[in-house]
Chains A and B, each alone.
Chain A
């Protein structure tokens, strides 16, 4: 069975600082990987996704993520965080054999001015 771990429940950064949110997955074959963002009171919105090819993927709002098969990781990064990035971030993994993506528990990002 596939699983997703987001080890950090909360992360606090200062505005302008760099950011890395961790995501580790468990799945036998090459997974489909996603990062979503949820602003307060809103639904989830896709930031970026990885299916195959270049392991460094670019997303919206200046985010990027790198797929590392050897580490079973798909960490999300941003070089300079803005106050508007404060939100909940979810990593998800899908597979070719299932219609049900698996979500991590989420990481809450707090941005200090």
Chain B
């Protein structure tokens, strides 16, 4: 099993550009999450999907959109990137109230 995979691993954008971060899990988990991690701020939840067909805002959703494409895939879109969105982005999946499984992260820089 690959677990949780994320693409790309690194990305540099210019202010105003758009991009989509991809996430896929092969563990048949119902719930999926997108977090951002910034120095000293811990993990902050952007959006989550409790099950296929549902998505909900987390703590810091502004400037982002998500799509739960199917049970396996959960993408995060930045429509117009801003320097404040420079961060490391993690996708995670989970079944019920068990532990989360995290991807390796996407390191995004917005110039």
Contact = CB atoms under 8 A, between A and B. Distances in A.
Sorting the interface of chain B by its residue count into under 10, 10 to 19, 20 to 34 or 35 or more gives: 20 to 34
Interface residues of A, number: 24
B50 A90 contact: no
A100 B45 contact: yes
Nearest to B41: A105
A113 interface: no
Contacts of B42: 90, 103-106
A33 B23 CA distance: 25
A90 B31 contact: no
B43 A99 contact: no
B101 to A, nearest CB: 8
Nearest to A44: B102
B61 interface: no
Interface string B87-111: 0001010100111111111000000
25 contacts: A9-B40, A34-B99, A34-B100, A36-B102, A42-B105, A43-B103, A43-B104, A44-B92, A44-B100, A45-B102, A49-B98, A90-B42, A90-B43, A92-B100, A94-B97, A95-B97, A96-B97, A99-B48, A99-B50, A100-B45, A100-B48, A101-B100, A104-B42, A105-B40, A105-B41
